[in-house]
Amino acid sequence: MVASDHRTYVYIGLAGEGDYIGEGGMLRRADGEEQWTDISKGLPANPQVRALAIRPDNPKVVYAGTHQGVYRSDDRGEHWEALEEPGPGKEVWSLVIHPGNPDVIFAGYEPCSISRSQDGGATWEKMDTSQVVYPHITTYMPPTGKRVIGMAFDPSDTKDMYAAIEVGGLLASRDSGESWVSVIDGPYLRNNTLDLHQVEVSAAAPGTVHIATQTAMFRSRDKGARWEHVQVEEMFPGGSYCRDLLVAPDDPKTIYLAAGAGGGAAPPDTVQEGALFRSRDVGETWDRLDLGETVPGRMMQIAIDSAAPDHIYCAAYSGEVYSSSDGGSNWTRSNLPAESSRYLHIYPMVCG
């Protein structure tokens, strides 16, 4: 039940990557506000914010992963504190909080490494990724850089964790994140199905792993041993650019997918478009939600307020943020104040 005085705050990180680095930034907007507020003060100069997490038992606490490590705010982004980490100054690309213990946080980096805090971010230790062997095609077909772009726990057995590597396949840990190995490989002609963007596991299907890739979504029903192509509407000939996956906090059978037309696997003349898909049967079937208009950019992120799960948000590469307060039946649009480009666009989005 939602408290009568509950107010949802939405946070968005802005960044570029590679040779395309702009001013970066971080924005916040609360229910009832028309404008986005810049909350970058206290983060590094020109902050490239590519990962965000909210402490579930205290949504005033926000973690931001930047190009110079992890920062924490205890007041919804009004002030920021740099956290001590192994390998300071490394680019953070993902953050995940343990579903049963909010003091346990994992951070994923580029180059590929994973660190863990067991005290809410005060101290960190580096996990063992020394046994990771990337699929061969990703070691020579550009881009060859490896970043941990998404992480997930299996809520039914939190010793099992997964990490999505952009152009590097999927990693798994069977010991609560202490050590990691690669769990996906095969005979490939192209690297686009190994260009992972997100991984998600639902409590309604223990051991079933969904991954979003540059050209399609895939599912393993046996912890990554075997894989199936998940059939969703094709956004361009031969596939869809799949970017984000999120299990609804109030219903583990419901999963959302952010997808679009465009990206490296799409034909060069593809017209950009975004879409939000929803499954109510743990990924067996999918429907495209009507956002009220054609989204002019690939859909990048999904966020749902765990304290008010009817509050659903999705954000496009082109800078549009769509909001629903009734579980996805009706939507409104807001535009970010900065013009989106390859140098500056939406990476993470969270709310709470």
Q: Where are the domains of the chain?
A: 9-351
Query: In which residue ranges of the chain is pLDDT below 70?
Result: 1-4, 87-89
- The H or E element that residue 25 is part of is strand 25-30
**Residue 85: what pLDDT?**
79
Name residue 329's amino acid.
Answer: S
What are the two backbone dihedrals, phi and then psi, of residue 243, each rounded to the nearest 5 degrees?
A: -115, -45
How far from 327 is each of 150, 218, 269, CA to CA, in Å?
25, 25, 35
**Residue 4: what pLDDT?**
63
Contact in structure between 125 and 107 (CB atoms under 8 Å) = no
Name residue 25's amino acid.
Answer: G
Chain segment 63-104, per-residue pLDDT in tens: 999 999 999 999 999 999 999 877 666 899 999 999 999 999
The residue assigned the tokens 């192509």 is 229
Chain segment 109-159, per-residue pLDDT in tens: 999 999 999 999 999 999 999 999 999 999 999 999 999 999 999 999 999
Gap between the terminal Cα atoms of the chain: 15
**Residue 5: what pLDDT?**
78
Cα–Cα nearest to 300, from 255, 257, 352, 343: 257
How far from 288 is each of 13, 65, 127, 278, 280, CA to CA, in Å?
25, 31, 38, 6, 12
Token digits of residue 150: 């998404």
Token digits of residue 54: 């909210």
What are the two backbone dihedrals, phi and then psi, of residue 136, each rounded to the nearest 5 degrees?
A: -55, -40
Cα–Cα nearest to 107, from 157, 67, 51: 51
Chain segment 200-210, per-residue pLDDT in tens: 999 999 999 99
At residue 229, the 3 state secondary structure works out as strand
**Residue 88: what pLDDT?**
60
Contact in structure between 223 and 172 (CB atoms under 8 Å) = yes
Query: For the domain bounded by 9-351, which CATH number is listed?
Result: 2.130.10.10
